[in-house]
Amino acid sequence: MTQLIQKLKQFLPAEVQVATEGNLLRLLTAEGKPCGIVDVDENENLIGFDLQMMLPDEEGSDARVLAQQFAAAFYPEAAEVIQQDYAAQSLSTLIRLAEKDAVHHLPIPGAGLAVEIHDSGFVTAAQLYRNTYTLIDSDELIDVTEAKQKLLAETPIVVAVEGGSTLYKLSDQAIGVHADGTVLFTELPPVLADIEAADDHKDWASLMGITKDFVNYYNEDGVQLWAEKDLVNNQPIDAIPDQVAVRKNEEVQFYSGATPWNKDRRYTEEELKQQAVLFLSAVTDQPLGEWKHAGEQLAPDASIEDELEPAYIFLFAYTKSGISVEGVEASIHVGIYSGLIRECIVDRVPDAVKAKKQLIFSEQAKQQLDDLLLLELAWVELQEASQYELVYVRTDR
């Protein structure tokens, strides 16, 4: 402990004393008043400390140099400065240093230290992060050029809108490329399939169970509400249940329905899908052929027995010239016993996309992105605690 105290005191004002209390170290002023605590582990290694006292308003040593000297004394493996921020209010500079691995010389996530340097040239706080980790290294590491080509080849292109203009980009679901050349996704992009439109057409109201027994009792500010006549006639307006509600604005259309239903039969998944397609056709302003089926699933709460009908959820993605438009999707919940629409959210297509008569082909878009796409090798944490692998991660310009 004596050696640690001596090393620490060279970074503190001369009048600060360090008192030992078991495994705890206290910082004291010249008058013996507490001004901070030093944390150490069972091996008497520094974990961190915080000094709280007034310091002279004068310029001291270079903060970056002092932080590296502190790291050399207490955590020599953390030698790479990765962040430096000045806080004028506290007259101090926060510097973070990272530990790098010995083979690839890459920063190890979560391993390093943070040091706060006062303008006077004293260290006022520090926190060390020593991680026990395992790097699952690859026997053969592909080069960055090959990794880039694999990412471009296997990642879907999307068209996005920024600043009122359209641009092409790789799907955000692709993080980068494993050292063995396989693409790393946060989740696998959906497989888009053409919609088989039904021969018949229905209006959206009938697909939600609105009959002649319903009245539209509210219609203001983009909100419309329907309920059965008996409910409307016999209850105050604020007590009427929203059996059907429609909300529309410039960004989204939202439909919700809780019309009566019976548990007489269970529709097949294909029948429910056709109901969803019919509803999408009735409410979208765009050609149905530009929408693609993006998957389906039973609603998570479908097994809960209550007044709400269990539903199947069908997902659709909007495309232009076969390319997905970022952020434009439809989610349609269909009751499994009634076939009625229980909820639907449809994103509006941005004006910049509607103004485009034709987009370039996906392969041409990827060629445009080639020069803009940058990859760098990094450690990425696996699901297992404290285990990492090498990945070429995206650092798009």
HSE at residue 89, side-chain half, CA atoms within 13 A, is 0
Lowest mean pLDDT among 74-78, 259-263, 271-275: 259-263
pLDDT of residue 194: 94
* The pLDDT of residue 268 is above 90: yes
pLDDT of residue 302: 61
Mean pLDDT of 295-323: 85
- Residue-wise DSSP of 88-123: TTTTEEEEEEEEE-TTT--EEEEEEEEEEEETTS-E
- 166/341 Cα distance (integer angstroms): 33
Residue from 196, 16, 199 nearest 122 by CA: 16
- Helices 362-370/144-154 angle, 10° precision: 150
* The pLDDT of residue 42 is above 80: yes
Average pLDDT, the chain: 90
Distances (CA, A) of 66 to 2, 51, 314: 22, 16, 59
pLDDT of residue 200: 77
Q: Which residue has the tokens 């008497």?
A: 44
pLDDT of residue 358: 79
pLDDT of residue 251: 93
Mean pLDDT of 364-388: 86
pLDDT of residue 86: 94
* The pLDDT of residue 385 is above 90: no
What residues are paired with 319 via a beta bridge? Answer: 324
* pTM recorded for the entire structure: 0.74
Cα-to-chain-centroid distance, residue 287: 31
Residue from 14, 40, 7 nearest 26 by CA: 40
Mean pLDDT of 143-162: 92
Considering only residues 42 and 11, tell me which one the structure prediction assigns the higher pLDDT: 11
Residue from 74, 88, 13 nearest 46 by CA: 74
Would you say 168 and 156 are in contact if contact means Cβ atoms under 8 Å apart? no
- The model's confidence at residue 370, banded by pLDDT at 50, 70 and 90, is confident
Phi, psi of 230 (to 5 degrees): -60, -40
Considering only residues 384 and 185, tell me which one the structure prediction assigns the higher pLDDT: 185
- The model's confidence at residue 104, banded by pLDDT at 50, 70 and 90, is confident
- The model's confidence at residue 137, banded by pLDDT at 50, 70 and 90, is confident
- 99/104 Cα distance (integer angstroms): 12
pLDDT of residue 397: 59
- The model's confidence at residue 6, banded by pLDDT at 50, 70 and 90, is very high
Q: What is the pLDDT of residues 213-252, one digit of tens each?
A: 999 999 999 999 999 999 988 888 888 888 999 999 999 9
Calculate what percentage of the chain has a pLDDT beyond 90.
63
- 76/130 Cα distance (integer angstroms): 12
Q: What is the DSSP letter of 66?
A: H
